[in-house]
C-alpha cells in the first residue's frame, strides 16, 4: 500500500506548487500542503517537502494567515497545518523562521484572549455539514501541537502559553463527546483524537477511541457517521493511526487491513465507499493518501514497540556482523558515529566499549527499543527516512538489519549518505533476497540483491565494497547476510563522482 500511495503523491504534486485538492481538483491546497510536509519527510521526499514549504511562503497572506484554495478568508485550522509543516522542516530549512513566526503570531492574535478559543467560519459556510450541522470546533485541537512545537523551536513562550490556555477550552468541549453525534464524520472525529494524543491527553484520546470502537466491524471498517452504511477512507486511516499510537494494535491492524482493500490502482483512495457514499465518492482527496501513509508508518513503529522484548541487547564480539562493523568503521575515538535503526543499541554499545571517546548516537523509530540503549549514547526517536541531523554530521554511519524496514529503500539510503561527512564511512548489513524464506518476516520487510544496493550507493558518489558475512553461531558466511561498506570521497574529491568505483567480493 505504502509504495502505491507515495507514487500517487509524486504524480499529484503540482510543479513549483503544493499538493492538489484531489484527483479531479488539480489546484494546490495550502492547508493540506502544509500538513503533507511531515508526511513527505517521513518517506524521504525532502526536496518535495522543501518545494511545498517554499510555495506556502509565496501564498502566505500579508497578515501571516492562510486561506483555502481560491478563497481569501483566513482560517485558523488551515494556518495551523502550515505551521505543522514548517515546524517539521525548520531545523534543516532555517529560511522558514520568519514566515513561521508570522503564522504563529496570527494564530495567537486571532484567538480569544480570555478563553483561548480560535475563530470558526460563520454558520452555513466552509464548515457546514448541511442538515448534520457544523464541523465541531474541537478540531482546532489539531492546531495546538504544531503551535507548541513552533514555540519550542523559536523559543517563544507566548505560543506555549496560548496552547495551554486554548487546550483547556477545547478539553471542556470534548469531555462528554460521543461519536454518535450527527456531525461526527470519522475524518473530523479522528482529527480530535489524534490531537489529544499529540497534546499528551492520552486518557481523553482513549475515551474517544473507545467510543468509536463500538462501531468498528469485524472486517475493520468503521462507518463514516454512526448512522450510515458507508465508510470514509480517510477517517479509517486516521483511526488506525491513533489506535496504533495508543497501543490498540488489534483494532488498528483490522482497520488498516480493511483500508488496504479500498486502495485504487492509482495508489489513492476515494473519499468514501459504499451505498450512499457522500464524501468525495468519485475523487481521491489528497489527505486520504497522507493518512494512509502515516497509518502504515505507525504500524511499523508499533510492531517494534510490541516486540521489543524479542530483541537482544548485546552481540558477541566474534559474530561476523560485529567483526565487520569493528574492522570497517574503526578507529572511532573523537569521532561522531550514528547507529541508524539501532534497536536496543547493541552495535552502538559494542562501539562504545571499543572507542569510549566516540560520540555515538542511536536512532530508532521505536521508543520502547530506545529505552534499552546504554547510558552515554545519545537517543533519537525517528525514522531512517527523516533524520533530524545536518548534512555531513557524522564521520561514520552504521545501519544493521534496519534498512529492510524502511520500505522506501533508495530514499532511506540517500538520507543515510546525506548525514555522512566527506571522507566518512558507512556500513550497511542486511539480508540477501536470494535467501527469502530462511527466516520469518513481517510483510513490509524488504531483503536485498547485493548489486541493487551497491548501485544505489555508487549513484550517490560512494566507493563501495560488498561481501557476505557470518552471523550468530554461523561463523562462515552462508549467503544470508551481506555487508556493504561505502566511503564518501573527501571534500576535495567530492566533485569527481565519475571516478567512483564499486567492487564486490561475493
Q: What is the pLDDT of residues 6-64, one digit of tens each?
A: 999 999 999 999 999 999 999 999 999 999 999 999 998 999 999 999 999 999 999 99
pLDDT over threshold 70, residue 505? no
Residue 403 to residues 137, 288, 340, 442, Cα–Cα distance (Å): 41, 27, 9, 14
What Rg value do the Cα atoms of the chain yield, rounded? 24
Q: Where are the domains of the chain?
A: 1-121+139-152, 176-306, 310-504
Give the closest residue to 234 by CA, choosing from 275, 284, 197. Answer: 284
Q: How far apart are CA 429 and CA 485, in angstroms?
A: 9
> Global pTM?
0.87
Helix 157-174 vs helix 202-213: crossing angle, to nearest 10: 40
pLDDT at 85 over 60: yes
CATH number for the segment(s) 176-306: 1.50.10.10
Checking if the pLDDT of 475 tops 60, the result is yes
Identical topology for domains 1-121+139-152 and 176-306: yes
- Gap between the Cα atoms of 259 and 240, Å rounded: 9
CA distance 194 to 61: 28
Instruction: Tell me, rounded to whole angstroms, the distance of Cα 130 from its chain centroid.
Output: 34
> pLDDT for 133-149, tens place per residue?
999 999 999 999 999 99
Helix, strand, coil share (%) of the chain residues, nearest 5: 50, 15, 40
Looking at the domain that runs over 310-504, which CATH code has it been given?
3.40.50.150
Residue 338 binned pLDDT confidence (cut-offs 50, 70, 90): very high
Euclidean distance between CA atoms 348 and 411, whole angstroms = 23
The CATH class, in words, for 1-121+139-152 is mainly alpha
- Stated as kind and residue range, the H or E segment containing 321 is helix 320-329
Amino acid at each position: 500500500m505504502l509504495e502505491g500511495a507515495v507514487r500517487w503523491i509524486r504524480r499529484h504534486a503540482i510543479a513549483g506548487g503544493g499538493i492538489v485538492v484531489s484527483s479531479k481538483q488539480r489546484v494546490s491546497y495550502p492547508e493540506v500542503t502544509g500538513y503533507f510536509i511531515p508526511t513527505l519527510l517521513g518517506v524521504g521526499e525532502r526536496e518535495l517537502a522543501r518545494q511545498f514549504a517554499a510555495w506556502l511562503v509565496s501564498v502566505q497572506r500579508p497578515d501571516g494567515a492562510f486561506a483555502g484554495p481560491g478563497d481569501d478568508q483566513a482560517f485558523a485550522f488551515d494556518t495551523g497545518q502550515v505551521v505543522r509543516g514548517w515546524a517539521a522542516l525548520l531545523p534543516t530549512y532555517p529560511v522558514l523562521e520568519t514566515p513561521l513566526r508570522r503564522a504563529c503570531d496570527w494564530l495567537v492574535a486571532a484567538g480569544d484572549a480570555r478563553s483561548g478559543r480560535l475563530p470558526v467560519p460563520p454558520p452555513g459556510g466552509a464548515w457546514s455539514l448541511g442538515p448534520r450541522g457544523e464541523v465541531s470546533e474541537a478540531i482546532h485541537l489539531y492546531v495546538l501541537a504544531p503551535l507548541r512545537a513552533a514555540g519550542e523551536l523559536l523559543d517563544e513562550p507566548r505560543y506555549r502559553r496560548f496552547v495551554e490556555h486554548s487546550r483547556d477550552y477545547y478539553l471542556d468541549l470534548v469531555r462528554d463527546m460521543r461519536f454518535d453525534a450527527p456531525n461526527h464524520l470519522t475524518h473530523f472525529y479522528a482529527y480530535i483524537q489524534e490531537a489529544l494524543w499529540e497534546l499528551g491527553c492520552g486518557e481523553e484520546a482513549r475515551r474517544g477511541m473507545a467510543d468509536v470502537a463500538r462501531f468498528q466491524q469485524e472486517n475493520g471498517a468503521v462507518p463514516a457517521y454512526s448512522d450510515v452504511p458507508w465508510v470514509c477512507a480517510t477517517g479509517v486511516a486516521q483511526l488506525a493511526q491513533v489506535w496504533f499510537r495508543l497501543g490498540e494494535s488489534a483494532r488498528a491492524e483490522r482497520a488498516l487491513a480493511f483500508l488496504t482493500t479500498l486502495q485504487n490502482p492509482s495508489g489513492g483512495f476515494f473519499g468514501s465507499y459504499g451505498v450512499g457514499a457522500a464524501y468525495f465518492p468519485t475523487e481521491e482527496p489528497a489527505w486520504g493518501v497522507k493518512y494512509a501513509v502515516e497509518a502504515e508508518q505507525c504500524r511499523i513503529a508499533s510492531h517494534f514497540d510490541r516486540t521489543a522484548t524479542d530483541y537482544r541487547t548485546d552481540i558477541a564480539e566474534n559474530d561476523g556482523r560485529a567483526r565487520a562493523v569493528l574492522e570497517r568503521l574503526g578507529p572511532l575515538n573523537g569521532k561522531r558515529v550514528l547507529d541508524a535503526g539501532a534497536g536496543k543499541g547493541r552495535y552502538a554499545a559494542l562501539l562504545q566499549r571499543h572507542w569510549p571517546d566516540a560520540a555515538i548516537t542511536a536512532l530508532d523509530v521505536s521508543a520502547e527499543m530506545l529505552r534499552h540503549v546504554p547510558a552515554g549514547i545519545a537517543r533519537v526517536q525517528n525514522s531512517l527516512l527523516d533524520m533530524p541531523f545536518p548534512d555531513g554530521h557524522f564521520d561514520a554511519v552504521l545501519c544493521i538489519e534496519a534498512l529492510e524496514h524502511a520500505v522506501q529503500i533508495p530514499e532511506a539510503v540517500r538520507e543515510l549518505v546525506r548525514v555522512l561527512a566527506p571522507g566518512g564511512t558507512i556500513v550497511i548489513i542486511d539480508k540477501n533476497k536470494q535467501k527469502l524464506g530462511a527466516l520469518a518476516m513481517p510483510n513490509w520487510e524488504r531483503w536485498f540483491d547485493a548489486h541493487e544496493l551497491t548501485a544505489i550507493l555508487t549513484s550517490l558518489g560512494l566507493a563501495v565494497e560488498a561481501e557476505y558475512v557470518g552471523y550468530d553461531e554461523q561463523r562462515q558466511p552462508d549467503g544470508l547476510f551481506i555487508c556493504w561498506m561505502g566511503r564518501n570521497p573527501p571534500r576535495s574529491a567530492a566533485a569527481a563522482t565519475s571516478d567512483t568505483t564499486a567492487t564486490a567480493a561475493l
